[in-house]
Amino acid sequence: MIDDHPALKAGIATMLESTGFFTVCGQTESLSQAVRFVEESDPLPSVIVLDIILGEENGLDFLPMLKKHCAGRKTPMPPVLVYSAFSDPFKIQTAFKLGAAGFLPKTGGKAELLKAIHTILCGKTYVPDELNLKLNGDAGLYSKFTKQEAKVIDLIKSDKTNQQIAEKLCINIRTVENYISRIYFKTGYSSRDEVRQL
């Protein structure tokens, strides 16, 4: 499990192991720890539970790292369940594009977490019904944005300032302002608060 909240990790680990079906073979709280754990694991875990926010890091960056590692070892990529406090369509779409097998908000209870894990272990995709409807309904909206605009939206949703966005994307602040103007134009919005609701 990859999450930067120790109490949450401990609680989920206890819950999973109490079922008698699962053994938690590792817990990490950063991308570097997660990558090192994967590199040292043989075999790889049967399933990985991943949070999106890992301190200042984006947990979704782990997915391409895992995919590259598995390709190098010529071994199947274990299914990854993204388990996050965020549940907006943009983050869900991003997770699946990067190779996640399932997405579950942290508001889901014990039974739903177990259902999600069992579903992806069976080779199926898991998204709660209410999120799946929302995701499908908003798919056309996200197709309007370029890849860079989508990154800016994601950073706005993470409450980053224009300066922080510029530093993160290695661009100048005027370019960030231009991207935000285009996002406002495409959505009809006029504030960052509205963009956070995408």
Domain match, 129 and 114 both: yes
| CATH number for the domain that contains residue 67 | 3.40.50.2300
Task: Give the bridge partners for 102, in sequence order.
Answer: 81, 126
Residue 1 lies in a domain: no
Per-residue model confidence (pLDDT) at position 7: 85
Write the CB contacts of 160 (distance below 8 Å, at least 6 apart in sequence): 168
What pLDDT score does 173 carry? 93
pTM: 0.68
pLDDT of residue 152: 92
Q: What does the pLDDT read at residue 150? A: 84
Structurally, the chain folds into a number of domains equal to 2
Q: For residue 37, what pLDDT is reported?
A: 93
Burial class of residue 65 in the structure, from the number of CB atoms within 10 Å of its CB (0-12 exposed, 13-18 middle, 19+ buried): middle
Tokens 């991943």, residue? 50
Residues of 77-106 as b/e, b for ≥16 C-beta within 10 angstroms? bbbbbbbbebbbbbbbbbbbebbbbbbbbe
Q: Residue 178 falls within a domain, yes or no?
A: yes
One-letter-per-residue 3-state SS of 37-103: HHHHCCCCCCCEEECCEECCEEHHHHHHHHHHHHHHHCCCCCCEEEEECCCCHHHHHHHHHCCCCEE
Q: Are residues 152 and 86 in the same domain?
A: no
Low-confidence ranges of the chain (pLDDT < 50): none
What are residue 12's DSSP bridge partners? none
Write the CATH number for 178: 1.10.10.10
- Are 127 and 181 within one domain? no
Say yes or no: 107 and 23 in one domain. yes
Write the pLDDT tens digit of every residue in 70-102: 999 999 999 999 998 877 777 888 888 889 999
Q: Are residues 25 and 114 in the same domain?
A: yes
Segments forming the whole domain that contains residue 181: 144-195
Angle, vertex CA 123, rays to CA 46 and CA 5, nearest 5: 45
Rounded CA gap, 8 and 31, in Å? 18
